[in-house]
Structure formats: C-alpha cells, structure tokens
A and B are shown apart, each in its own frame.
Chain A
C-alpha cells in the first residue's frame, strides 16, 4: 500500500503540490483527475523519484520513498509509464522490453516475462523486431505499458495513457488497465479523460492547483454534480 502524507513539492519557485495526502490500497485502481497544471503528473514524478519533494512523506509498504534513488524505487516495485509514452524510438520493441527489465538480474524469469507481456499484447509480439518509432500511437502506448511491466511492479503508475489517441484506441487502453489490475498489479492512473478514468477506478481523487478537493469511489465522483460540471462537461 502506498500512502502519501502532507506532500509539498516546489517546481522552480512554484508550489506544485500543497500538502496533498492520498492512499493507494493494494490491488485497486486509483485515479487522480484534474485540470492542466493541477499537479497530477508532479505527484507521479515525485513518487518515482524524478522530482524531489520539499516536505511530507511517501510510505510504500512501510518504507519511506522520499530521498531514495530512482533505481531503488523501481526495484521496490513501482514502475511508471511516462506521459507521452516516451518509448525508445531507435530500439526494437524487444529491446524496449528488455530495458524495462534493466535492474533485474533473473535472466530466465525475464524471458518468461517477455512472453507474458507478449500474451497481454499480441500486437507487440507481431512487431517484436520493429523499431518502436515505427509503431502507431496506440501500439507505442502498449509498449510503454509493457516496458513498465517488465520491472515486475506491484504498483504501476500511468501518466495520461489516453493522451492523443483515437477514441477506439482509448477504449483498448482502458481494457488493458483492467486486465493488468486483474493480474494483481495496483494501478495509479492520472487522466484528463475523467469519464473513462472514473469508470475504471475503485478510488478517485480530484486535484485542483496542488490540493486535493474531493475524494470518493469512481462511481461516487461520476455522480457528483460538481465533478460532472467541471470535468465531464455535463450540466445537471
């Protein structure tokens, strides 16, 4: 279980996060929704160690993550799918997956896990030898997710996985999120597509200018008039 308490993050003089607290229970899909610049991505980047926190604590299975190097955080079972996919364009699909397992030493298990990812995403298996830069946007997103799964995470964090994808592909991506979760991986999802995110989420938080303003189950927030107005574009 991941538990954030009173987290403050400064980004070049701007307060990006102002004392947020949230919990990500094991085995659930948790989503953070909010407008641009609300601090959703910053939250993920702070958890993964890419951004340094000002104060507060991030407890992961009773271990403090703040101050730990990125590789230690990845090894402890947290993987991130960065915003905009960021696959390694000049490497093949297979090489991308192998880089996901960069910190692992168990060679035989890595081979099995590559097969596991290929079973999850048959499209990637077909394109195993292709350069990642030649894949379509949806395929690249699958690869980014598969690459993150290669570190065998207990918690996978996804930053805007639906960004820039066609509506049908977005549905595929959310199906994938469910599948991964059914395999026992906890998912922390950051999304602007609040409608889809709330439908898939067990627990949801609304972020506004660096603070959490609302929380509830996905269904509760979907029904909440304020959320409907601000994020779903529906009036009552």
Chain B
C-alpha cells in the first residue's frame, strides 16, 4: 500500500516536472537572456544520465571503470550515422564515399509521416545504446576479471583506443575520419508546426529521454538484480556463496551501464548538433566521475544533482568570471579567460571537504524527505541520540560505518 502511494507521488512529480519543461520550452526562445537555462537543461540531462549510468557501475556494483567517454562516443556516432538525411550525406562525408546511406527517421517518415520521424529517432537512440552494449560485452569478457585500479586503467585504455579508431582514415567511409559528423536530427530542429502554432521540443526531448532512462535504472537498482549488484560490491565471497554468479553479474552491470552511456552519447550528439571523436576525451570521463563523487557514490539522486550543479555552475552561473562581470562586479583584469575554472575548482574542493561522502551520501531523495518529516524540516539539527529501528535513523548511523567502502 505504502509503496504504491510512493509510486504515485513519484509519477505525479515527474509529470509536473515534464509539463514545466514543456512550458519553458515554449516560453523561452534561445535568443532570450534566459535562453541559457534551456541550454544547461539540455546538457544537464545528458550528463545526468551519463553520471547515473556510471554510478550504476562504480557506485552500485563497485567496479571502478573509466571507459565511459568511449561508450558515449560509440553511442554518439551510431546515432549520428543513422540519422543523417540522404541529401546531406555527401555533404557531410566530404572526403569519403559514405558507406552507410541509411537514415532511420527518413525511412520511417516516408512510411509513417511525422510519427515515423519520432520513431526513427527513438530507434536510432536505442541502437546507439545497443552498439555500445555490444562493445562493452566484448571488452568485458577479458577486462572484468581485473580488480579496482587495474580495471580502471584497462577501461581507460579502451576508451582512448576507441577514440583513436574512430578517427582512423581507413574507417572514413563510416566514421568520416577525424572530421565531424553533422546535419543529423538534432534537438534545435525538433519542432512541430500545427496550423500557425510552432511547438518546440528542443529541451523536452533530451529531458524526457533522461527521465525515462533514469527511471529504468532506479527500477533496476531496486530489483533482484540491483540487490545482486550491491551484494557483489559489498562482499564478493559472500555473494558467491549465495549462488550469485560473479562473472555474469559484473558483465550484466557493465553492459547495462554502457547501454545507458551509449544513449547519453546519442543525446550528446543531439544536443551539440555535432559528433566528433576528439570531444570524447578522458577528461569527459573525469568530469562525469566528478559529478558522481560530488553527488555521492551510490545515490542516484546524488548523481543527478551532481551533474546538474556541475553543468549549471560551469556553463552558466560562473560564466561571468570569464567575461569580465560577475555578480555585478566589473573587474575585467581579474575576471578573464580561465578564471572560471579556478573558482570552480575551489568550489569543488570546498564541497568535497564539507561533504566527504558527496552531497547525498548514499541516500536518495525519498529517504531525505522522510527524515525531514521526522525531524521537522531540512534545517533542524537531527536528533542523534534517538537512533533506533526506523529507516532513516539507520541510514544516518550508516554514515559512520560505510567509510569501509572507501577503503576497499
């Protein structure tokens, strides 16, 4: 009973959120001063999904992998290649004879009209995830036998190799070599004209994809498989003794995480309007890792908050630090190119110092709301003596115990 009520609350919250995004999408034009809000929402949803999918692997399964940018690259290219319209194809592949001349949105729209375009984009996005999964499966076979740092180095190497391969001239007919892919279906052109009204979906679409994917990940984490992931993270020997197949479970987590990384990559291409291998550097993986750590390893809400804060701060709120005026202070000699990164690094250090386990720790938003209700609001100091059998107190207490995870 309580569970279904919670589910309804969550569903209604998501519906309200999506309606707000839809309305914002119509009200704000990209040229407005608030246009930046849409841009960061788009980018934020890409990174939120990327961070959550990385958290699934690093936080929930305890596999420290740094191959995320590689899987996102695969997703971005798959999506781009399969959505370039045929008239643009030769224009995009300037120096090569394009090998793949097939576009899902185009083919489907010929048969089904506008609905076909939407379906085509959806198919391309899912295909992006599947191709990333295929690569993850093949890489996972040898690599997942490694532990901690060794796994991180191996996956890091994989991501770099993938980037190099996609820029390889010989693969030009498919990947366009080191040139970028463009002209495919992107968010800035996602509009629907009914009569005289034009509805924009540029922000709605990426946010919707992120919401759907993150919901699936939440359901997964709370399922039997999710429990198996956490069991493997906590104690491999005990998990094995319970009959959990370590190799299968790790492989499953790796593939699912990569699937959603692939989708995040496709969204990235959609939002940025281009796909270029040189964008998917290791530093992208580090950024995502930073979001996960900032939000709290093992908390999905944390990853979303971490990603949004990161993107909002670095792309929008702190912009002024690079361009002369910040918070009304005009100091062009101090606030010049690069200063934003200095301030940003300092903020990150402060956050890490004060929230050693990330903003959310390993709690989720519902846990937090429950403890607010019990303790009378978010700003009251929690009654620490009264730590007994209730859920939220147990979770407060666990903060003292789970330092162990950081060590292992």
**Which A residues contact B (CB, under 8 angstroms)?**
48, 50, 69-71, 73-75, 80, 82, 86-92, 95, 98-100, 102-103, 126-131, 133-134, 147, 151
Contacts and interface: CB of A to CB of B under 8 A. Distances in A.
Interface string B378-403: 00000000000111001101100110
A88 B241 contact: no
Contact of A99 (B231, B245, B390, B404): B231
B404 A133 contact: yes
Given A98-B224, A99-B227, A131 B243 contact: no
A90 B238 contact: no
B234 interface: yes
Interface of B: 224, 227-228, 230-231, 233-235, 237-245, 298, 362, 389-391, 394-395, 397-398, 401-402, 404-405
A154 to B, nearest CB: 15
Contacts of B390: 129
A134 B224 contact: no
B116 to A, nearest CB: 40
B228 A134 contact: no
B242 A129 contact: no
A70 B243 contact: yes
Nearest to A74: B243
B398 A134 contact: yes
B60 to A, nearest CB: 10
Top 9 nearest A-B pairs (CB, nearest first) are: A74-B243, A86-B238, A130-B394, A88-B234, A71-B243, A129-B391, A133-B401, A131-B398, A103-B243
A102 B234 CA distance: 15
Contacts of A73: 243
Contacts of B242: 74, 99-100, 102-103, 147, 151
B245 to A, nearest CB: 6
B394 A134 contact: yes
Contacts of A147: 242
A95 B227 contact: yes
Contacts of A130: 389, 394, 397
A126 B362 CA distance: 23
Nearest to B224: A102
B241 A80 contact: yes
A88 B394 contact: no
A193 to B, nearest CB: 22
A90 B233 CA distance: 9
A68 B259 CA distance: 32
Contacts of A86: 235, 237-238, 241
A87 B405 contact: no
Which of A80, A90, A129 has the most CB atoms of chain B within a 10 A radius of its CB? A90
Contacts of A129: 389-391, 394
B6 to A, nearest CB: 15
A88 B230 contact: yes
A99 B229 CA distance: 10
Nearest to A130: B394
A135 B237 CA distance: 20
Nearest to A131: B398
Contacts of B230: 88, 90-91, 95
B405 A71 contact: no
Nearest to B391: A129
Contacts of B240: 50, 70
Contacts of A102: 224, 227-228, 231, 242-244
Contacts of A89: 234-235, 401-402, 404
Given A87-B238, A90-B230, A90-B362, A151 B401 contact: no
Contact of B401 (A92, A128, A134): A134
A143 to B, nearest CB: 11
Which of A87, A95, A130 has the most CB atoms of chain B within a 10 A radius of its CB? A130
Contact of B238 (A88, A95, A127, A134): A88
B358 to A, nearest CB: 14
Contacts of B227: 91, 95, 98-99, 102
Contacts of A90: 230, 233-234, 298, 362, 398, 402, 405
Nearest to B243: A74
